[in-house]
Each structure stands twice: as C-alpha cells, then as structure tokens.
Structure 1
Amino acid sequence: MINTFRKFFQSKIGIGVTLAFLALIAVAFASADVSGSGTFGGVSGGDRVAVVGNEKVGTADLRRAAETAVDQLRQNDPTLSMPAFIGQGGLDRVVDTLLDRVAIAEFGRKYGIRAGDNLINSEIRRIPAFRGADGNFDEEAYRGAISRQGLTDALVRDDLGDSLIAQQVVQPSGYGAVIPNKLASRYAALFKERRKGAIGLLESSAYAPTKDPSEDQLAKYYGANRDDYIRPERRIIRYATFGADAVGDIAAPTQAEIAARYEEDSALYAASEERTLKQLILPTRAAAESIRERVQGGASLEAVAREAGLEAATLGPISRSDFGTQASANVATGAFAAELGQVAAINRSGLGWHVVRVDGIDRKPGRSLEQARSEIIATLTEEKRRVAFNELAADIEDRFADGESLTDVAKTVGVEIQSTKPLTGAGIVYGSNGEQAPEILRRALSTAFQMDEGEPQLAEAIPGQTFLLFEAGDITPSASAPLSEIRDQVIADWRRAEGAKLAKTAADRVMKRVKGGQSLAAAIQAENKRLPSVDQLNLTREDLLQRQQRVPAPLALLFSMAQGTQKKLEGPRNMGWFVIDLDSIEAGAISPSDPLFQQAKIQFSRAAGDEYSQQLSKAIRKDVSVEKNDTAIEAVRRQLTGEAQQ
C-alpha cells in the first residue's frame, strides 16, 4: 500500500508556483503599469485589484504577473494552461506574492530605504538574458527582452527597484537565524523516535454505486468539478521546408572571380613544407654542443637525454613559421636547413639552447592557377549558392512581414505545405499514446505555441542546410472538455466521488470498532468488502528520511498523532479514506556528535529564519494597510480563463 501512497500523493503545483514566481520577481518581470489601465466591472475602483498604502495595484499588474508566472512554469511543463494554473490556486498565490512585494517596498520607502539608479543598473547588468555573445551586457539584448514581455525600461526599473527594497527589508530578518543546541537536540531526537501502528485504506470503488447518475446529478457534479477536465491547448502546425536547391541554377564563376580567389588564397596554393622534429633544450651552449656531437656520433638523442635526466619532446608536423613562433627564427632556420635524420646546428631561443633532430619532412609542391581551377570553381559556386539561399530567406521574411500568406510563399518557392495532427506544447500528438511531433519542427515548436493563428514565420530547421516555413493553422484553446465528449469519464468520477462519501462513513465505523478493542485489520474486515490489506508499520522518522522521497500524507499523519489514537484521512482524487491507528511511541535519543544532529540544527535554523521573514511580511501588511478589491480580482480571473468573452 505504501507504493499506492507514493503514486497518489503528489502536488499539482505546490511549492513550484511560489518559487517560480519569486524568481520571476527577482528579474523584474512581475508587474506592469501601476496606473491600472485595464477596466473591469462596473464598481468604483474596478480597475484596481488592491490599494497598498499609497500605491495602487492595477488589474494590468495582476494580469501580467499571472501571465508571466505561467510562462515561467511552462519551461518545465509546456502543457500548462492558464485555466489549469488558476484552477489549481495559482492566481491566489500570485495575488499574495504581488501584494507582499508592493507592501514591503512601500514599507521600505516609508522608513527611508531606497534603491538607487547605480544599484538598479548593476542588477540589470547581472541578468544573463541581457548579455550579448561576448558575455557582457548588451543594450539591444536588454531592449529586445523587455519588449517581448511588453515592458518598458521605466517599468522594469520601477519593479526591480521595489524588489531590491524588499531584499533589504526582508532578508536581514531571517539571516543568521540559529536555534540553541538544546532545542536542536529535542528536534533532532524526533528523527530517532519509533512509532508502531497500522494504516488501512477504504477504497471508494468498493462503496461506489453501480447505477448511473441522473442527468441532474451528472450536470451538477460536472459543473462543480470542471477544472478537473481542463484540456491543454492544441495547435495544428502547417509547415514546409526547403534547402539550398530551392534557389535553382547558380551562375558559373567568371574568369576574373577565379583569378581573384587564387590571388586571395595564394598561401593555400603555394609550395609548403612541414617537419617532424625531436627537440631537447639545454641551459648552456657547451651542454647542447656536447649532446649534438654524441648524437652525430651515433648515440640516440632520447638515450642521451635520459642520461642527463631530461626528456626529448616531439614536435610536428610543424611549419617553419609556426616553429619560429614557438622557438625563434634562428632555431627554425637551422631546423629546416638540416637534412632528414640530421641534428641541426645549435641555436638559441629565450628558453635556452636547442638540440633539434629532423625525424620527418613533408614537402608539398605549389599549384598553378590551372591546377587549382576546379577546386576554386566548386568553392565559389557553393558560396554563391549559400548567398542566394540566404537572400531567398531574407526575401521570404520581408514577404511575411508585408502580409503574404504561407500558401503564397510556399507556392513561389515550390514546396508543399504539410499539416501536423493536433499537438500540445510538449510536442505530443493530442490524444495519442506518446506520438511525437515531426522532428523537423522540434526547434520551432516553442515559437509555434507563442504565435497568433495565421502569422507565418521562417526559421532554420537544420542550420545552414534547411529552412522551415511554418504557422499555427488551427488553435484550440485550453478549456474544460464538454460533458458530451467525456460523459463516460465523468460518470466514472461521479461514482468514485459517491463511493468516497460512503467510504468516509465506513471509516467512522472502522474507527469506532478499533476504539472498542478490535485491531484495525479486524475492523476493516468487518466491512465485508474487497479492500486492500492493512499495512503494519514499525518506523522511525530517520527511516522516512532515508527513503529520499516525499513522505506520503498517511505516514506524515502517523508521526503527528498521539499514542493510542486513530485518525481518518481523505485520499486524493476521491480514491477513498485512510484510517491510521497509532499503537505506541518510543522516544528517541541523539548525541551531539551524530551527523543527524547538525543536519537537524541547520534545517530548523533555516525554518526559523523563514518564519521570521513570514511574520515580518504579515506585520508589514498591517503597517502599510492592504485593501483588496475582490470584484476586480474575480474580473481578472474571468478574463484570463476566457469566461469574460462567453
């Protein structure tokens, strides 16, 4: 059953939303025009979601913050839609985070904390997205990045300034928090605490009705649980590809062009010589001459070097100019004047006196214009084809910018348009068993899911070889599936939900039997249903820690109950109800030298620091006064989910 726990107890968004949005704030993409240019509702102040101190937080702020939060989360979950995000409580978290940030900034300004232009500039320069190819801050990259987010320089600076003030106000409150050893010891000992008990599951399916619901029951259930049936956005991508052959015949290079290229690359066609050398460098000329004489007399350069406690180095094949750069011009001249197998005359470089033996000579004769002609023609022809290829791509981009359709451009280029099956943002064919989008679309898929319908674009599918023409031909927004299309699924879910209600009542009966003296296994068996067997548990918290997995909720509850008590816990997605029976608790003990002690101290000190920061944020909200406009927040929610247009 523990495997069942692991399978079912997983958060939909959880901490990920909070962390992603906090990171989002740090790069100043969380808010927009504080003037509240959007208008919602018919009540006074309907374009404001809140007033924080003297600062007005507009509907545009909240809308942009929610959109950017979803964009950030889509980096890990491309199929996440705005309705799903909101249905899982994402908008509420965005509201709280946004208002906290504004409140903290207001509090900071109230007490004289500022973020100057120089500090803001330095923070902007540190953001990787704003760096150019050389790794330094690039003004064009910065302007382009904020423009794509629909922001201006002034808005980014205002928002980043607020975030910097928030860092100055909140971070010190939790910095360096440390709990005393005595308190840490009490907490750490909990990891050694042993608990014995049992967990049973009363599955909804065992209690679910077998009959179908009435039409009214089904409609009410579907209406109350629409968010469970949200489908991801799907797009049909229309596309075509073309390569360098799309430019047709290329004019042959002229005689003048061939001659000019031969002259330009004269070094490539000139005679050349490379040598393989064995080299030993000595500190004095006398030592070098002595070794040269021995080698000329028949001794091995390698053996003589070893006798001297040195090692000869192999160089090459290397050209005369390269060797001259490494050693000196005189050393290179001597080495390239010697014959194969000879030791060159001793010459000096900045490193010392060189003993150089010629081990190999590779001479390549020069080539005349006539000899190199065919190679030059092939090179020039390929270059002309690439230029024409790139000019064709530039012309296509201009035509798209002028409003020409994908069909018209594809016809001109002479390529056939293909259409995909409906795809999700993850590149999976919707409704398939993992069927992938065509490989040629992989590089452009992310862009295709940000485009408006019928706005074609050009992209490189295979750099330097193949271009891709593509557009979003048919967009199906993310929305709850119509009841008529998922009727059987909703009926099954209704049965499970009804079964969960009866399972809850059964859990109460089981707990009553256990309190009357029966074991949990006997109490569940008395239900006369086909139910999973009861898990008998004998665990410490350290055992749970060693699993390095998320602790299932029933086990977490087991370790928070009083000895001799029973609790019931609802399973996720109407799977049923757990009954937890805790028989005994054995207190744990821990030594300060135990690594677990230091680990616990660090963890609980960090938790204490987080608590200080949270309490400060709550106190700041009270100090600056925060008034929310629930009507405007609801209007934003309706617009983001598309309900406002229905």
Structure 2
Amino acid sequence: MLKTLRSLKNSKLGIVAAIAFLVMIGLSFAAGDISSSQQFGGVAGGDRVATVGNRKLSTAELASAATNALEQLKQENPRLSMKAYVAGGGIENSLTQLIDRAAISVFGASHGVIPSERLVDSEIAKIPAFQGPDGKFSEAAYKALLAQRGLNDKAVRQDLTDGLVARQLLVPGAFGARMPTEVVRRYAALLADRRSGAIALLPAVVFAPSQEPSAAQLAAFYTAHRGAYIRPERRTIRYAVFDESAIRNVPAPTEAEIAARYNANKALYAPSEDRRLSQLVLPSEAEARAAVASGQSLEALAAARSLAVAPLGPIGRAALAAQASPAVADAAFAAQQGKLVGPVRSPLGWMVVRVDAIAARPGKTLDQARAEITADLAAQKKRTALSDFSARIEDEFDKGGSLADVTKELALPIKEAGPLTADGKVYGVANQSAPAELARVVATAFSMEHEGQPQLAEVVPGKTFVVFDVTRIVPSAAAPIAEIRAQVVADYKLEQGNTAARAAAEKLLAALRKGTDLQAALGALGQPGLPPAQKLEISRQELAQQGRGTPPPLALLFSMAQGTAKILAAPQGQGWYVVSLARIVPGSDAAVAPVLADATRELSGVTGREYAESLRVAMREEVGAKRNPAGIAAVRRQLGGEGN
C-alpha cells in the first residue's frame, strides 16, 4: 500500500523525485482536497505534532499532508481508504516528510538560503490552477482557489519557499557524485558473470488430490480464505451530458460592448513590429567601437575573440528593453535590416547588435477587428450563460431536485452505466470501462453515502457538463459459497497440492545436497506428470536482454553461491521451484568493458542519492527535530476514525 511513498528514495530519479514529493505536499491542493486548517486546531494533544528548530509543525499541516499523500496513492489504488492508510503507517511517513521539508528550510534560512518574494511570486504564477482564461496569472482565481481549499496566502508561500530551498540545497548535494572506478569494475564483473545450473518446477496441480473435499473441509477452507472471495463494491450511475447547445436565447454582443472591448485592448490592435537580432557582448566600449569600425561580420568578430554570437527574437521593443536595456531597444529598432548597431551599454557589457529580420504587423481599426471581437464576445457570453445555467442546476439539486427533473428540462435522455467498480471498470465484463464522459465522476459517485443524490460535474472544464446520480449500490462482500463452489473446490485442491509439492521440493533439496543429479532426483519421486528439469547456462547480460521482468527462479540463480541448491515458491501458490547452481564463471575484462560505462552511471547515481540522503539527515540533526506524541496520536485518531 505504501510502496509508492517508500520507493521514492530508491527510484532512478532519486533526489529529484524526493524533492518533487516535498513540493507536492504544499502544492497538491491545486489538484486534490486539503482539509481546512481549522479542523485539527484543537484536538487533544495540542496544536503541534513536531518542532523543527524554531518552527512548529501543526496538527493541521500533518492532516493536510496525509490527505494529499492518500490522494496520490489512490491514483494507483482507488479503493484505498484513509483508515487503511493510517493503519499502514501512513501518518508516520507523512510526518517524516513534513519534518524533512521543514528541516531543510530552517537549515537554509540559517545559512542565508532564502528565496526572494519575487521568486515565490513567479512560482505561483506558473501554477495552471491560478491562471485565467488568457493563460496569465489571475489574482481572482488565486484567491478563489485558496478560499475553496481553506488555505491562506502565507501558507502557500511557505510551502513554495520550502520547495525552492530544498531544490537549491539537495540537488547540488547529489550533483557530480561518482563511484570509485575499482568498485565499479568489481560490480561490472558481477554483471558479466555466467552461471550454469538447473531448475525444476513442481506444479501444485500435479500433486493436487483427485477426490472431492468433504462439506466440512470445504466450509473450513472457505472460512479461512474468505478474503480471497470478496467482490468489490459496485455502483450503477445514471447520467446525461450537455454543453452550450443546451443554452438558448443568448443575446448577441452589442455595439457598445464591441467598442468597449476594442478600447480596452487598443495595444493589441495597434501596429507592432518584431525583430530577429544577433548580439555580441564585449567587455569595453573601446573594444566594441573598434569591432564595429573594422567592417567584419559579427561572426568573424566573435570567432577572433573566442566568443559566441547569441540570437535574439523574434522580440518586440518593450520585451527587448526589459531584457537588455531601453538604450539597446531604441538602437536596435532604429536600424535597418542587416545593419550593425553599437556599441550600446547593457547590464552584461557593451553590445554590438545586428538586425537580421524585421516583421512589421499593421494595426487594426475597429471595423477590421469587429468580426473577431464579436466572435470572442459571443463565445464569452455563451460560456457565462452555461456557467450560470450550471450554477442554477446545482442550486436545484441542493434544494432537492431530481436528475429526472433536470434532464426533462434539458430534453436529454438519461443514460446508465454499470455496474461499475471504484476503478471505473464494468464489473464482470473483461476490458470494458465506464464511458469517457464519466471518467471525472466515478470517484465522486463512489464517495456518495446514499443512492439518488444527483450532482453536476465538468467533463471538459467550462464547456461540457454531466449531471448524474447513483441508482444502485451493491456493497463489497464475500461471494456466497453456493455461488462459487466450483472455484472454492479448485482452490482447495490447489492448496493441498501446493503443500504436497513443498514436501516433494524438500526431498529434492535433501537429495541434491547428497550429490544426486536434479533430474535423477525428480525421477526418484515417482510422481507422474512432472516436467523435466531445465538445464541452464546464461549470463547476466543475456538475462537482461530478454526484455521482460526477470523470472524469480533465474533471479535466485544469480544470488546463490556455487554448488548450492534452494527452493522457491511459485507465484500464487502454483507450486515450488528447485534451483541448483553448479558453476559460476566470473566476467572477463573483455566482457566487463562494454558495461563499464553503464555501471559507472548507475553506481554514481546511487552514490549521489546516498550523498543527498546523508545531507538531508545531517540538516535534520543540525536544526533539531522533536516530535509531540500526543499531537501525532490525536491526528491519527481523527483520520483513522478511532474513538477518543
């Protein structure tokens, strides 16, 4: 259940993945739910779960972190509940992440690593959830989303600051790490070794009893394995999809509205000009003047000084003024195409600029822009009307309106999908899922407590909507034994056969330790139907080239000592493997050479992750972290549904 979280530190992305998770804790409110900070402020045990340096971590922060971590895990396992997350140690994992994040930030602040307000502002502006229809940062969208999630500006900025500090401190700590060459060579030799041996499979089905179990045996087996026969919860969803075509009588844009839009965006319709430029930055004015006077090309001037010509653009005058300086912009936009301009002073030095291309765009009068403005205003009016209409539907649902009432008003047929499981699959039908328009609402449908609770959701944000409810809920429960008797009988026989196969594997192991050949030992069992032992001679490289997951018995073969034998359970109780390793031939220098570079990269990555982890631990130890067991227990009780 917690595999995703615990594997972060071992992934190939290593420290980058860890940093992404640190930032995710603070930012995931943009995609998932975060509890209000008021919810855990007064639980028993105080209002903090830990103190890191001079910074306190509140119970609300831990609750939010746990909620967001659960939402991430649900992407892989939609049926995972908060209670199961808490029971599996999720609270402790989330708290450790919180403490590390805070420790890195406190350590950074004590050493002068403090992101500026402008940098934090730029990070906020990059978040898609805070952008308006024009793709730019919207203060209104920012405040609305924070209010929706129960957050405040200070908390958001703190989370972003923590992520930025982590990026600045941890990435350099792992960058450039390299494993010593001799260690890599030894490791590479292991990758190139060749092994010979034999593998025998003892299938459980071969040893399974032929006689039917008694009623008492079957009942006892079913009771002991009831969890294997649990059917998932199923829900049937009724729904109808609508878009702006459902909205009628939307008024056309007026002349006053068209004129107002034109006047508000005069800069957009004014004449404009972009230029493509090439620039060369020189250290002194005298050198720059001499370069221009020489008559040489910009590339020749750069080559003579071991410098490079940098391309710019297409770029407008205002953008160039902001990027370089107003003086550079004025000079560059006053020159003709192909001319050298300069020298001009810039923050980087003295610039010599060549005008490579000029793209002038004429402006538009109100009459010329009327068609596009009219279309934009009409589309905006339709979107507004659709949004207002959707809000009215939600209000009707809040007041007790039914799905049938709304679909009748929309003149739409009601569709039905199901029975569905929580992952969106149609129960009992292979390779069939819920319709695409329900992809966003399945999780919501499975969170409803009762049938007949209509809701509205977006299919395509701002364009297409779906109204839906749940008409039938079938709780998760074990299937009655009478309905699945044949399956239970087969499982019972397979388990009995697996037990007998284990005993036979132990006999083979004893015979091998006495020097008996594996095939001969198989024959001595006297069990008909057994597959013959498979002799193998294979290298690690050949195993990797098979292009699929390594079979467990082969993985065991490459982890054993020469002259030994071991047994291994086959997946899902299907039997037992007996693996015998006869000989190991170490990799030669010629065999090691092709894999040395890859091994260096792999082990150097491991080294970098170890450095970063050591740095993380060292920062936490330096600033000091003290946990508050009472506060942690209080959050665990609240989220896990335990009584106080």
TM-score > 0.5 by shorter chain: yes
C-alpha contact (below 8 Å) 1:206/1:531 kept by paired residues:
yes
CA distance in 1: counterparts of 2:488 and 2:620, whole angstroms: 43
- The answer to which of 631-640 and 418-427 deviates more is 631-640
- The answer to which of 390-399 and 541-550 deviates more is 390-399
Write the letter of the residue equivalent to 2:503. Answer: T
Query: Structure 2 vs 1, CA of residues 559 and 633 (structure 1 numbering), >3 Å: closer, same or farther?
Result: farther
CA distance in 2: counterparts of 1:506 and 1:129, whole angstroms: 62
Query: Structure 2 vs 1, CA of residues 16 and 178 (structure 1 numbering), >3 Å: closer, same or farther?
Result: closer
| SS of corresponding position for 1:422 | strand
2:174 counterpart residue number: 174
C-alpha contact (below 8 Å) 2:192/2:586 kept by paired residues:
yes
2:515 counterpart residue number: 517
2:213 counterpart residue number: 211
Query: Structure 2 vs 1, CA of residues 33 and 258 (structure 1 numbering), >3 Å: closer, same or farther?
Result: closer
C-alpha contact (below 8 Å) 1:70/1:85 kept by paired residues:
no
The one of 498, 502, 505 aligned to 1:504 = 502
- Does structure 1 residue 434 correspond to structure 2 residue 431? yes
Query: Structure 2 vs 1, CA of residues 486 and 202 (structure 1 numbering), >3 Å: closer, same or farther?
Result: farther
Equivalent residues in 2 for 1:375-454 (5 A)? 393=390, 395-400=392-397, 402-438=399-435, 441=438, 445=442, 448=445, 454=452
| SS of corresponding position for 1:420 | strand
Deviation for aligned residue 1:33: 7.7
| SS of corresponding position for 1:555 | helix
C-alpha contact (below 8 Å) 2:508/2:518 kept by paired residues:
yes
Write the letter of the residue equivalent to 2:419. Answer: P
C-alpha contact (below 8 Å) 1:173/1:613 kept by paired residues:
yes
2:263 counterpart residue number: none
Post-superposition CA distance 1:27-84 (Å, at most 9, x none): 32478789982899xxx84998777778776765555444423433444x4x631159
C-alpha contact (below 8 Å) 1:34/1:57 kept by paired residues:
no
1:304 counterpart residue number: none
Write the letter of the residue equivalent to 1:581. Answer: S
C-alpha contact (below 8 Å) 1:222/1:483 kept by paired residues:
no
Post-superposition CA distance 1:379-413 (Å, at most 9, x none): xx999999988875554344335553323333444
Query: Structure 2 vs 1, CA of residues 246 and 90 (structure 1 numbering), >3 Å: closer, same or farther?
Result: same
C-alpha contact (below 8 Å) 1:91/1:637 kept by paired residues:
no
2:239 counterpart residue number: 239
C-alpha contact (below 8 Å) 2:498/2:575 kept by paired residues:
yes
Query: Structure 2 vs 1, CA of residues 423 and 91 (structure 1 numbering), >3 Å: closer, same or farther?
Result: same
Query: Structure 2 vs 1, CA of residues 571 and 420 (structure 1 numbering), >3 Å: closer, same or farther?
Result: same
The one of 100, 103, 107 aligned to 1:106 = 103
Deviation for aligned residue 1:480: 5.9
Write the letter of the residue equivalent to 2:579. Answer: I
Write the letter of the residue equivalent to 2:547. Answer: Q
2:40 counterpart residue number: 37
C-alpha contact (below 8 Å) 1:53/1:103 kept by paired residues:
no
C-alpha contact (below 8 Å) 2:40/2:635 kept by paired residues:
no
Equivalent residues in 2 for 1:152-551 (5 A)? 152-208=152-208, 211=213, 214=217, 217-218=220-221, 221-222=224-225, 226=227, 232=232, 234-241=234-241, 393=390, 395-400=392-397, 402-438=399-435, 441=438, 445=442, 448=445, 454-458=452-456, 468-474=466-472, 481=478, 488=485, 492-493=490-491, 496-497=494-495, 499-529=497-527, 530-551=529-550
1:25 counterpart residue number: 22
C-alpha contact (below 8 Å) 1:100/1:617 kept by paired residues:
no
CA distance in 2: counterparts of 1:22 and 1:485, whole angstroms: 52
Query: Structure 2 vs 1, CA of residues 34 and 389 (structure 1 numbering), >3 Å: closer, same or farther?
Result: closer
What's the % identity of the aligned pairs? 36
- Does structure 1 residue 80 correspond to structure 2 residue 78? yes
Write the letter of the residue equivalent to 2:566. Answer: K
C-alpha contact (below 8 Å) 2:104/2:162 kept by paired residues:
no
C-alpha contact (below 8 Å) 2:45/2:633 kept by paired residues:
no
Query: Structure 2 vs 1, CA of residues 507 and 473 (structure 1 numbering), >3 Å: closer, same or farther?
Result: same
1:613 counterpart residue number: 612
Deviation for aligned residue 1:560: 1.8
Query: Structure 2 vs 1, CA of residues 36 and 444 (structure 1 numbering), >3 Å: closer, same or farther?
Result: closer
Write the letter of the residue equivalent to 2:205. Answer: S
C-alpha contact (below 8 Å) 1:198/1:580 kept by paired residues:
yes
Query: Structure 2 vs 1, CA of residues 388 and 71 (structure 1 numbering), >3 Å: closer, same or farther?
Result: closer
Write the letter of the residue equivalent to 1:211. Answer: P
Deviation for aligned residue 1:561: 1.4
Deviation for aligned residue 1:231: 5.2
CA distance in 2: counterparts of 1:629 and 1:486, whole angstroms: 49
- The answer to which of 27-36 and 558-567 deviates more is 27-36
Post-superposition CA distance 1:303-343 (Å, at most 9, x none): xxxxxxxxxxxxxxxxxxxxxxxxxxxxxxxxxxxxxxxxx
Deviation for aligned residue 1:449: 5.4
Write the letter of the residue equivalent to 2:185. Answer: S
Aligned residues, how many?
503
1:315 counterpart residue number: none
C-alpha contact (below 8 Å) 1:192/1:540 kept by paired residues:
yes
Query: Structure 2 vs 1, CA of residues 217 and 103 (structure 1 numbering), >3 Å: closer, same or farther?
Result: farther
Deviation for aligned residue 1:546: 1.9
TM-score by length of 2: 0.62
Query: Structure 2 vs 1, CA of residues 142 and 428 (structure 1 numbering), >3 Å: closer, same or farther?
Result: same
Deviation for aligned residue 1:246: 6.3
Query: Structure 2 vs 1, CA of residues 408 and 22 (structure 1 numbering), >3 Å: closer, same or farther?
Result: farther
Deviation for aligned residue 1:178: 0.3
CA distance in 2: counterparts of 1:183 and 1:203, whole angstroms: 41
CA distance in 2: counterparts of 1:557 and 1:54, whole angstroms: 50
Deviation for aligned residue 1:134: 4.1
Query: Structure 2 vs 1, CA of residues 508 and 427 (structure 1 numbering), >3 Å: closer, same or farther?
Result: same
1:310 counterpart residue number: none
Write the letter of the residue equivalent to 2:402. Answer: S
Post-superposition CA distance 1:493-530 (Å, at most 9, x none): 56545544443333222111111122223323433343
| SS of corresponding position for 1:82 | coil
C-alpha contact (below 8 Å) 1:48/1:629 kept by paired residues:
no
Deviation for aligned residue 1:177: 1.3
Deviation for aligned residue 1:170: 4.1
Deviation for aligned residue 1:638: 9.7
CA distance in 2: counterparts of 1:626 and 1:499, whole angstroms: 53
Larger radius of gyration: 1
C-alpha contact (below 8 Å) 1:59/1:636 kept by paired residues:
no
Q: What is the root-mean-square deviation in Å for CA atoms of aligned residues?
A: 5.1
The one of 92, 101, 120 aligned to 2:89 = 92
Structure 1 gaps, min length 5: 1-10, 265-349, 352-380
2:555 counterpart residue number: 556
CA distance in 2: counterparts of 1:247 and 1:187, whole angstroms: 68
CA distance in 2: counterparts of 1:505 and 1:105, whole angstroms: 54
CA distance in 2: counterparts of 1:84 and 1:526, whole angstroms: 54
Deviation for aligned residue 1:144: 5.2
